[in-house]
Amino acid sequence: MFNRKLFACSFLLCWCALSVFGQASNANNKPVESDAQTVKALLDEVRQLRLVLQRNSVATYRAQVTLERLKLQQSQVNELTRELVELRNRIKELERNASAITGHLAEAERMVASAPTPAERSMREMMLKQLKSEIEDGTQQIRDLREREPQLAARLQTEQAKLNELNESLDKLERELENAAAPEKGKRP
């Protein structure tokens, strides 16, 4: 009987020890599992933040490069615009000069016809030749400039199209940065 009591006590003692150990084990497992989940969640968040930072860094770099290209392109467009304006102004100036010289030409022809002496007539004919030469030179310059004008206008149009593309690219990058920041705003309280 003593053996039975000893066995029963031993059994009861083991059972209590196992149940206490089991409860302690369960209590310890929950925080370990909870800690592991927390660490995993934190690591996931860090990875996501790293990806966002990398994307933003790349987008910022691309935006800076695009902005510099945009500045250079704007400078090119400004230069071509200035050249085209100067060319058109030069054409107008040459046309005004040609018109004025043409007016003088008619008067010079009358003066040649009304010259009282052969020496004066010769001098007036020389002036008439000079005026005709100036008209021819001016007309040739106008033709040359008019030939150059559409070429310059086409170059300006091409460079303006490149500038527009860069502006669109910069706008797209700006939207990408805004979109990348938008989900983060929604997650943060």
Q: Give the CATH number of the domain where residue 107 resides.
A: 1.10.287.1490
Kindly give the residue spans of alpha helices, DSSP state H, lying in the chain.
Answer: 2-113, 118-187
Residues above pLDDT 70, as percent of the chain: 78
What's the CA gap between 132 and 101, in Å, rounded?
A: 8
14 in any annotated domain: no
What is the dihedral angle through the alpha carbons of 116, 119, 124, 125, rounded to the nearest 10 degrees?
120
The confidence score (pLDDT) of residue 72 equals 96
Domain containing 169: what range? 31-187
Higher pLDDT, 16 or 153: 153
4 in any annotated domain: no
- Helical packing angle, 118-187 and 2-113, nearest 10°: 170
6 in any annotated domain: no
What is the number of domains present in the chain? 1
157 in any annotated domain: yes
| 9-13, 66-70, 106-110 — most confident range | 66-70
Question: Running DSSP on this structure, what letter comes out for residue 1?
Answer: -
pLDDT at 4 over 70: no
Please give the average per-residue pLDDT across 87-104, as a whole number.
92
Say which residues have a Cβ less than 8 Å from residue 161's Cβ, sequence separation at least 6.
none
Please give the average per-residue pLDDT across 154-182, as a whole number.
89
Query: What does the mean pLDDT of the chain come to?
Result: 82
Q: Judge if pTM exceeds 0.75.
A: no
2 in any annotated domain: no
